[in-house]
Structure formats: structure tokens, C-alpha cells
């Protein structure tokens, strides 16, 4: 099991985010959904880079679970919406947990998962090779987009991919 005891640079937000994630994962357990952690929090878990900031939690599950999960989350007072880009967003104030549709976002990603404990929250996390592939795809997807927000996103993806590649050294 990967155990993470360090915190990212935005410690206060991160602490509140992890409490929210714990609550959301509790709802997942209640309805029998076992989501997989990916994206920025997974990069942080593998690298334990205290200079990183973690702003949200990205999980994945089957899109067929979205309606049931949305209902269960809303019953707990958590605001939800399902996007047209195959994501269920669970939001409370400035905290966000996103569920990416496995069928869409994780297609052809190796199904190798690692158990992880980040603070006192337990996850199943996409393997480092799968995470690299997700970030490689994001890098390709944002490479030709020239507006400022996509260029900022492209730089962030590139930095996270570099951090993951540094684990090989």
C-alpha cells in the first residue's frame, strides 16, 4: 500500500478536500461503487511533492453508476451535476470531487490499481503507468489549443507528466 503522510502546498484547502472526499467515498461504499483515483491527487500520492497543489479529487467509475450515485450524494446534501463530457461533479462550496466515466476516460488504460492511503482516506488508485498514459493523452489533447486557459492547463499537465517520469530515474 502506498501511504502518503505529506501534504501539498495548499494544506488548508487540501485538509478540507480530503474530509469531503472521505464523505463522498462513504456514499460510494453505501451504494456499492468502488471508484478509482486518478489525476492530480494520484500524481501527488506517487511523488509526494510538497510543492504541488491539489485542488480537487478525480475518481472514475462506470457512467452507468452516475444516476444512482448522484441521487445518493444529493440525499446527503451534496450538490451534483452530470456534464456532457462524461463526468459527474460532486461539489460543496469550493470543494470538488469528479467522477470520470471509466468507459470514456479510462479506455485502454491498464487495469492495474494500487491501494493508497492519503492521510486517513483510503483509495484504489490507477497504476503509475496508467497515470502516465492519462497525462500523455492530456498533453497531446492540449498541445494545439492556443487560448490562455488551455496553455496553462497544458503546462500543468506537462509538469505532472515530468514528475511521473522522474519516478523511473
pLDDT category, 70, cuts 50, 70, 90? Answer: very high
pLDDT more than 70, % of the chain: 98
Measure the N-to-C terminal CA separation of the chain; round to a whole number of Å.
21
Write down the pLDDT at residue 151.
78
Write down the pLDDT at residue 42.
97
Task: Give me the CATH code for the 2-127 domain, please.
Answer: 3.30.460
Comparing CA positions, the residue from 147, 123, 132 lying closest to residue 3 is 123
Domains of the chain: which residue ranges?
2-127
Write down the pLDDT at residue 83.
95
Higher pLDDT, 155 or 53: 53
Mean per-residue pLDDT, 63-74: 98
Q: pLDDT (tens digit, 9 = 90+) per residue, 20-66?
A: 999 999 999 999 999 999 999 999 999 999 999 999 999 999 999 99
Q: Compute the mean pLDDT over every residue in the chain, rounded to the nearest whole number.
A: 93
pLDDT more than 90, % of the chain: 84
Has residue 129 got a pLDDT over 80? yes
List strands edge to edge, sheet with 36-38: 2-4, 113-118, 121-126, 36-38, 57-61, 95-101, 87-92, 79-82
Q: pLDDT (tens digit, 9 = 90+) per residue, 90-124?
A: 999 999 999 999 999 999 998 899 999 999 999 99
Amino acid at each position: 500500500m502506498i501511504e502518503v503522510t505529506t501534504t501539498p502546498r495548499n494544506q488548508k484547502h487540501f485538509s478540507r478536500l480530503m474530509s469531503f472526499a472521505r464523505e463522498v467515498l462513504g456514499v460510494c461504499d453505501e451504494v456499492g461503487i468502488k471508484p478509482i483515483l486518478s489525476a492530480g491527487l494520484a500524481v501527488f500520492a506517487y511523488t509526494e511533492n510538497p510543492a504541488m497543489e491539489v485542488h480537487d479529487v478525480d475518481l472514475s467509475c462506470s457512467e452507468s453508476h452516475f444516476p444512482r450515485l448522484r441521487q445518493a450524494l444529493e440525499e446527503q446534501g451534496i450538490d451534483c451535476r452530470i456534464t456532457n463530457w462524461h463526468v459527474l461533479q460532486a461539489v460543496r462550496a469550493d470543494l470538488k470531487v469528479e467522477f470520470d466515466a471509466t468507459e470514456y476516460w479510462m479506455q485502454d488504460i491498464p487495469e492495474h490499481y494500487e491501494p493508497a492511503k492519503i492521510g486517513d482516506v483510503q483509495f484504489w488508485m490507477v497504476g503509475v503507468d496508467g497515470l502516465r498514459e492519462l497525462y500523455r493523452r492530456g498533453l497531446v489533447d492540449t498541445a494545439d489549443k492556443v487560448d490562455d486557459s488551455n496553455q496553462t492547463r497544458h503546462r500543468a499537465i506537462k509538469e505532472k507528466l515530468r514528475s511521473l517520469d522522474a519516478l523511473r530515474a
